[in-house]
Amino acid sequence: MELDYRAIGKRIKIERIKADLTQEKLAEMSGVSPAHMSNIETGTTRVSLTTMVAIANALGVTLDDLICDNLIHARVQFEQDIADTLSDCDTYEIRMIADMAQALKDTLRKDAHLRSQL
């Protein structure tokens, strides 16, 4: 199995921005160079487990939060992503998103037999 380092980097960047940290500050807190942190966030380099742990600790998140796109069992992280997405929505936006989510779910279940054909 090949890891999706771009997805990992994207999640690190999102968490860094949410923590109001610069790339340079996160690099310093994680014990890596700013250039290496930039490469990690863009997914152009493989990141070691030791560095991933250091980044997660610096950001105050779990490794699951950073690598969930590579995990089969990551329901909790994706549920949190949905909650984060909805957190700043007004009532109208939430209602529309709920309607779209229900329609998408209905379609996915109706066409579930197509999964086995992929």
User: What value does the mean pLDDT take over residues 50-55?
Assistant: 97
Question: Looking at domain 5-70, does it have CATH number 3.30.1360.200?
Answer: no
User: What value does the mean pLDDT take over residues 52-57?
Assistant: 97
pTM above 0.85, yes or no: no
Residue 113 one-letter amino acid? H
Predicted pLDDT at 30: 97
* For the chain, domain boundaries: 5-70, 75-117
Q: Is 29 exposed, middle or buried (0-12, 13-18, 19+ CB in 10 A)?
A: middle
What is the per-residue pLDDT across 9-37, written as a single tens digit (0 to 9) for each? 999 999 999 999 999 999 999 999 999 99
Predicted pLDDT at 70: 87
Task: Give percent of the chain with pLDDT exceeding 70.
Answer: 97
